[in-house]
Structures are given as C-alpha cells and as structure tokens.
Amino acid sequence: MLAVQQPTSVPENAPEHCPGTESELAGKSAACAGCPNQDVCASGTTKGPDPALPLVRERMTQVKRKILVLSGKGGVGKSTFAAQLGWAFASDPDVQTGILDVDICGPSIPTILGIASEQVHTSAVGWSPIYVQDNLGAMSVGFMLPSPKDAVMWRGPKKNGLITQFLKDVDWGTLDYLVVDTPPGTSDEHLSIVQLLKESGIDGAVLITTPQEVALQDVAREIDFCRKVGVPVLGLVENMAGFVCPNCKGESQIFRPTTGGAARLAKEMGVELLGSVPLDPRIGKSADYGVSFLEEYPDSPGTTAYLGIIERTCLRCRLA
C-alpha cells in the first residue's frame, strides 16, 4: 500500500540481505542461514500486524483531531508553527490540546514552549505529558535526556520504537487536538507516525516552507510523500516571507522568492496557500525564551498572519 522501498522491516543488526521480518521469505531465504533470529522469523509470528497498533488505536480514540506539521526542509519554522498552533488552540479554556514532538535527534518543542528543564513522570496509566498550562500538554524526547547537550545517536528502528511508545504510552487524557511536530525529511519518523496513526485517522498535514527555491523543492517532495501515503494536505504556510527593518520600516526579501515562492508551488501542486508569515526577529526571540509570540505581541503583523492561518487550518480540518 505504501510506495516505500521494501523491505521496511529489516532490523538494525540484520545480516546483509535480510528479507525483512514481515516478508514471505522471513527465516527462509539464504541470507537467514546463521541468523540467531531465524527460528523466530520462520515461525511466522513476526508477520502479523504490529502488536502496538491496537494499543495506539485505544489511546487515540480519545483524541478528536490529529494534525501533522511537516516540511521537507529543516529550519523553516515547523516547531515554531506547531507551538503557535498549540497556544492558539489552548487560548480557549475548553479546548484540550497536546503537542507531540517526534523529532528525536533535534527536539525543539521543549525550548519553544519554555519547559526545557522538565522531566517526564511515569504513572500507572502511562507517561504524563508536561503541561505548559492546564489545557496544553507536550511530549518530546527532550524531556528524557539527562542534559540538553546529549546527542541522540539512534538509527531508525530505535526512533520508531520511541514514537510507538509516545503514541501508546503517553497519558494524554481526552484531547480536542493533537499537533504532531516532525523532523525534516521523509524518512523513518514520518513513515512510522503515518503508519501508526493510519487506523485512527490523521485529519491532515500543514506544510511549512520558506520562499526560496531550495526550500520549495523539498516541500514539493513532502507533498508527494503525503499523497503517496494518503495523508490529506490541509495547506501550505509560507514562513520568513519578508523582513520589515525595525529602523526604516522598509520591507526587504531576505529569502527571495526567485521562482514565485509558495504561491507558485501551491498552485502547481494544487494545494491551498494558508498564508504568509513575515520574518520578524521577535518570533525567533519568543521561541528562544519559550514564550507565546501570539500573547507577547498581539498587535504585530506576524500575529495577525498566524491567527489567519490557524483559522483557515481549523476550517480546512473540519471540512476534511
């Protein structure tokens, strides 16, 4: 079903030509000779669906809407947008929101939400999310590292294991929105989250880009990915779109849309352009200090742009 290179189920320490644990040939091919797990594979128990799936489904029955924040390119503002989206949802005290950070190697959500020093607690019902406010919880690998300096040097299977745990073990309670922040690219993390949430249904993905062609190319690939795996694209957000000099108020384009920017890409790929956010140094500063830009600078053009985009995202989400 997924247009993915087979096999997807080759363990990290598998022999060279391992057919994959879910393959018909598992335990039977020539490469399996001598592998310590040959008997397990040959017995057929590895071919069934992932045993975590029913548990994930169980947890996710309590989550009304699941939104992915994606971008092929790094550093375009995925985490910042995910955090603003979370804050905007949570501004309504009756709405419960969760933010899940599946960027395992570079988690930014803890810093952006201002909860970087927190640690995860485990209870009988699962891992408790870290709460920014009563109705806004977050989960990230950043809460599990002894020091923020520590690198997570994991290959795919380990990252997938943690993402599975995030989805089945985190005690979110009842949520109106679960915003999933992802790493750049189209690889293990993305495949895992999509496969694990397939049954519970993903409402859609918001794609973030910056105006220059190098970023647009990566985002075009991400749209292609969404189509391959069947995730609806809610729309495209153009970030860092123009810079207003605080001194002379003149606007200039730092990341020049040499090829037409996000508007052209949206048109070409047939997706909606949800809006453009100007490049405002205060947005980055708010993220560094872990405060909500929307609340700190309610009158700035950036806030107006964000709120418009978030409104359109919700609208698209309800229609989807």
Partner 1 sequence: MAVSQDTPISRRLSHIKHIIIVCSGKGGVGKSSVATQLALSLYTSSPNVRVGILDIDLTGPSIPRMLGVDGHGVHQSSDGWVPVYADASDARLACMSVGFLLKKKSDSVVWRGPKKNAMIRQFLGDVRWGELDYLVIDTPPGTSDEHLSLLEHLSPARDRISAVIVTTPQAVALIDAMKCLSFTRAVNLPVLGIVENMSGYVCPCCGEVSNVFSTGGGQEMARKEGVPFLGALPVDTELVALLDAGEAMRGEGSGSEIPDGEFGLVKRYQGTPSARLFGNVVNVWEDLPPRS
User: Residues annotated as binding site?
Assistant: 18, 32, 35, 41, 72-79, 245, 248
- Per rule CB under 8 A, is residue 260 in the interface with partner 1? no
Segment contacting partner 1 by CB under 8 A, of 44-52, 155-163, 173-181, 295-303: 155-163
Element holding 109 (H helix, E strand)? helix 109-112
- Per rule CB under 8 A, is residue 284 in the interface with partner 1? yes
> Contact at 8 Å (CB) between 179 and 85?
yes
* Helical H segments across 155-254, by residue range: 156-169, 188-197, 213-229
Query: Burial of 43 by CB count in 10 Å (0-12 exposed, 13-18 middle, 19+ buried)?
Result: exposed
Distance CA 317, CA 287 (A): 26
- Cβ closest to partner 1, residue 16 vs residue 94: 16
> Contact at 8 Å (CB) between 105 and 152?
yes
Distance CA 258, CA 250 (A): 20
Which two structure tokens, joined as six digits, stand for 247? 């001194």
Binding partner 1 (rule: CB under 8 A), the pick from 43, 117, 119, 187 is 187
- Per rule CB under 8 A, is residue 262 in the interface with partner 1? no
Segment contacting partner 1 by CB under 8 A, of 58-66, 85-93, 121-129, 178-186: 178-186
Distance CA 210, CA 188 (A): 24
Binding partner 1 (rule: CB under 8 A), the pick from 3, 30, 124, 319 is 3
Tell me how far, at minimum, the Cβ of 134 lies from partner 1, in Å: 25
- Per rule CB under 8 A, is residue 102 in the interface with partner 1? no
Report the SS3 class of residue 70: strand
Q: Which residues fall in the annotated binding site for [4Fe-4S] cluster?
A: 18, 32, 35, 41, 245, 248
- Per rule CB under 8 A, is residue 190 in the interface with partner 1? yes
Tell me how far, at minimum, the Cβ of 28 lies from partner 1, in Å: 19
The mark string for 107-146 relative to partner 1 (x by CB under 8 A, - otherwise) is: -x--xx----------------------------------
Residues 8-47 that bind partner 1 (CB under 8 A): 8, 10, 12, 14
Nearest to 293 by CA among 308, 306, 312: 306
- Per rule CB under 8 A, is residue 238 in the interface with partner 1? no
- Per rule CB under 8 A, is residue 86 in the interface with partner 1? no
- Per rule CB under 8 A, is residue 255 in the interface with partner 1? yes
Distance of CA 123 to the CA centre of its chain: 25
